[in-house]
Amino acid sequence: MSAPHLPKVAGIDPEVPVSTQTAAPLREIPAAPGAFIQDRLAGWVSDLTTLHELTERLAATATLDAALNELLHAGAALVGARRGLLVLERAGSTTPSTTLGLGLGPADLGHLETVERSATALGRVLDGPPDAADARDGIATPDLLGDQDLDPRHREVATRLGYAASYALPLASEAAGRLGGAVWFYDEPGEPSEKQRHLVGLYARYATEHLARLTELERARADIATVAEELLPSRLPRIPGVRLAARHRTGPQGGGDWYDALPLPDHALGLAVGSVGGSGPSAMAAMGRLRASLRAYAVMEGEDPVAVLSDLELLLRLTEPARTATALFAYCEPAARKVVLAGAGHTPPLVLGDRRCEYVETTLSAPLGMLACWEAPSVEFSPAPGETVLLYTDGLLRRTGDAMDRAFARLHSAAASVPKADRHDPAAVTDHVLRAMLPDGLDRSDSTEDVVVLAAHFD
């Protein structure tokens, strides 16, 4: 009778005899990995850290120009070059190409443009088949002047600009396609190492995705700005006794701030500013409807601003009950220098002249869409000869980042500081006020507020 088999345990074969001898204790600690392996690991960590920092800096860019500049500088650092050239041109796009240089002045770029495109590595990267090896790995020209087949004009330009080698890389990815290409120039013969090519290739693919997003974002912003401008007056009317100037900027998402100036019977003039709540296409569409409706009411009963805004309130409450808006309408008789205005939740106008700079005392009223009945009467005042009436939306105040009381004080100070030589030019008045209120300019990409300023100078 055979002996019973011992049960099998995972990883142990019971039929293999177990040695009765114990292993000798370790008397020496195993040697650490060699210096070569340590150096290689340290190099990998350093490369990954550098790549991470560069991609983080690129991701922080919010505009296309900033991203292109960052890409050129980062690529030059990765391949060890001092100068470079980038061309952004998406196939099939109606957007004109963008050319940007690093360490190259306008005259240098002009010289480079005289070289036939097919004779340069950048041209071959831009025009070659997307699936070609060059389109993936880039084109290195380690010794331009030593190349016997180099285009004579290219040789002349390289000698003039003082570069002896180049490395061109496409800006392409599977998702975004090919957006353009970049080339970096070396002062001496040379080319990037295999490791440098790998790192700059990884960076370029990430940069391409980022550039594609920014390109679409800027195209959308341009479309929104175009639509917003089309909804506003294409030109301001010319009425004897008064001169007009307007400045308007739409936020990146599209907003509902608007203005209008329309001639009325008997040489009168209607001025209006307003703001629709919300942002985006819906607010822009509501702004267009509100402005068109106010124009119709102003033509019918413009001499009574309260009636105009009352009709507008009723229309908004019946057609768009979930929408609110602010508005201010002023009926002006320039010959008599008489202004009658009414406002619904809107900021008061500012009067600027040689002897005064003050806000017009308007009656308080809730915004349109929030009124049970109209109770705020109109206000009448007479601007003196040479005075300017400044209408604006609260976006001008909000863009300052200050509390509203401080923003009002800042606007008053900005208007009061207009040089006397400029106070008879409404365009100069608006520009000075905007510079004083918004030192960073109207086109800040990080602001979502619309800005409207409308100035009427009475002769």
- Exposed, middle or buried by CB within 10 Å (0-12, 13-18, 19+), for 101? middle
Confidence of residue 29 (pLDDT cuts 50, 70, 90): low
3-state SS class at 367: coil
pLDDT digits (tens, 9 = 90+) for 244-286: 999 988 776 667 889 999 999 989 999 999 998 877 777 888 8
Which residues, at least 6 apart from 155, have a Cβ–Cβ distance to it below 8 Å? 144, 145
Judge: domain 61-224, CATH 3.30.450.40. yes
Among candidates 352, 328, 336, 322, which has minimal Cα distance to 273? 328
User: Residue 270: which residues within 8 A CB-CB, separation 6 or more?
Assistant: 260, 261, 262, 263, 264, 298, 302, 329, 330, 331, 332
Q: Mean pLDDT over residues 164-181, rounded?
A: 90
Instruction: Please give the Cα distance from 420 to 424 (Å, whole number).
Output: 8
Q: Over the stretch 135-152, which tens digit does the pLDDT of each residue have?
A: 567 899 999 999 988 999
pTM above 0.75, yes or no: no
Average pLDDT of every residue of the chain: 84
pLDDT value of position 186: 96
Terminal CA-to-CA distance of the chain, rounded, Å? 128
Residue 134, pLDDT above cutoff 80: no
pLDDT of 19 strictly over 50? no
Tell me: the pLDDT tens digits for 399-414?
A: 888 999 999 999 999 9
Per-residue pLDDT, averaged over 167-179, amounts to 88
* Nearest one of 235, 243, 260, 238 to 458, comparing CA atoms: 243
Rounded Cα gap, residues 298 and 275, in angstroms: 17
The pLDDT tens digits of the residues spanning 326-367 come to 999 999 999 999 999 999 889 999 999 999 999 998 877 788
- Domain ranges in the chain are 61-224, 231-458
Residue 41 scores a pLDDT above 80? no
Domains 61-224 and 231-458 share a fold: no
Work out the pLDDT band at 25, boundaries 50, 70, 90: low
Q: Please state, in angstroms and rounded to a whole number, the distance separating the CA atoms of residues 87 and 106.
A: 14
Q: What is the pLDDT of residues 59-106, one digit of tens each?
A: 999 888 999 999 999 999 999 999 999 999 865 555 568 899 999 999
Confidence category of residue 12, pLDDT binned at 50, 70, 90: very low
Please provide the CATH number assigned to the domain covering 231-458. 3.60.40.10
* Residues constituting the chain: 459
121 or 45, which is more confident: 121
